[in-house]
């Protein structure tokens, strides 16, 4: 059985001074107590908050992730954050290849694959984001794009690597448009089939998250789909009450 994972992605929002109140409200609002939780909960926070968020998360039984990472261990890469730096802070998760990183910061399938490989090699679990644009979906290229994005990553990873995939159709991110339950399930089933070709039975243990305008009003339907193992939630994760409702709809 795959343990569901509900991940929040704060993107470039909130302030470090708001982190304690966020955690307090989230923990007070969740129905399940930490010891009885059937869902993993993760927050991908801005880099300056990682240290504080990690301390609070440890206390509350949550996971903390960086939003991106550099594939090199050190060097002259101004502004970048390395895997050893994350590990030094006790952070062992990172998003990789979010569509905003691909769109605004020129990340390519190749650079995403190198980041994912470097993370796995260091024992940091990457959540690799994939997904088609509106134009690509309208041209019926969804599966072609997913295959290209994933095969580049799969070529770099061992068959039994510990990683998570987030299917995030670009047209659904921050737009209020969500893939229908069936559209999302179809894409997830396609991804799992690709994984099976590469990784055999390990594909059945891997978690595939859906992302793109997930909120408490649409989460339950998505979570009922057999190949949807959780969510990567952007905007709706900024409100701890709403994020708690999404988490509870999976528990
Ligand atoms: P959204 O973002 O939930 O605001 O659409 C999802 C994401 O970008 O991870």
Q: Probe ligand 1: pick from 10, 66, 103, 213, max atoms within 8 Å of CB?
A: 213
Q: What is the CA radius of gyration of the chain?
A: 17
Q: Over the stretch 48-102, which tens digit does the pLDDT of each residue have?
A: 999 999 999 999 999 999 999 999 999 999 999 999 999 999 999 999 999 999 9
Q: Output phi, psi for 33, to 5 deg.
A: -80, 150
Q: Probe ligand 1: pick from 65, 128, 177, 212, max atoms within 8 Å of CB?
A: 212
pLDDT at 1: 81
Domain that holds residue 80: 5-250
Is residue 98 among the annotated active site residues?
Answer: yes
Asked if residue 211 has pLDDT above 80, the reply is: yes
Please state the domain count of the chain.
Answer: 1
Residue 75 Cα to chain centre, angstroms: 27
pLDDT at 251: 77
Tokens of 128: 């690799």
CATH number at residue 90: 3.20.20.70
**Secondary structure class of 209 (helix, strand, coil):** strand
- CB 171, CB 136: distance < 8 Å: no
Asked if residue 30 has pLDDT above 80, the reply is: yes
Q: Residues with beta carbon inside 6 Å of ligand 1?
A: 9, 168, 173-174, 211-214, 232-236
């Amino acid at each position: 059985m795959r343990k569901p994972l509900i991940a929040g992605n704060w993107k470039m929002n909130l302030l470090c001074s708001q982190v304690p109140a966020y955690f307090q409200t989230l923990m007070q609002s969740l129905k399940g107590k930490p010891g009885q939780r059937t869902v993993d909960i993760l927050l991908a926070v801005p880099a300056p908050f990682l240290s504080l968020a990690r301390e609070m998360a440890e206390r509350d039984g949550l996971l903390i992730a960086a939003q991106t990472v550099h594939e090199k261990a050190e060097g002259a890469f101004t502004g970048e954050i390395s895997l050893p730096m994350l590990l030094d802070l006790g952070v062992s998760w990172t998003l990789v290849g979010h569509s905003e990183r691909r769109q605004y910061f020129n990340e390519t399938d190749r650079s995403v694959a190198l980041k994912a490989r470097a993370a796995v090699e260091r024992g940091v679990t990457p959540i690799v984001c994939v997904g088609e644009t509106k134009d690509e979906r309208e041209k019926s290229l969804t599966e072609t794009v997913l295959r290209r994005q994933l095969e580049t990553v799969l070529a770099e990873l061992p068959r039994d690597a510990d990683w998570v995939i987030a299917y995030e159709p670009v047209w659904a991110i921050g737009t209020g448009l969500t893939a229908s339950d069936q559209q999302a399930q179809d894409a997830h089933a396609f991804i799992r089939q690709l994984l099976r070709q590469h990784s055999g039975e390990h594909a059945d243990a891997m978690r595939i998250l859906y992302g793109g305008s997930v909120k408490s009003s649409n989460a339950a339907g998505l979570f009922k789909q057999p190949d949807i193992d959780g969510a990567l939630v952007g905007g709706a994760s900024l409100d701890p009450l709403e994020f708690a409702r999404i988490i509870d709809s999976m528990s």
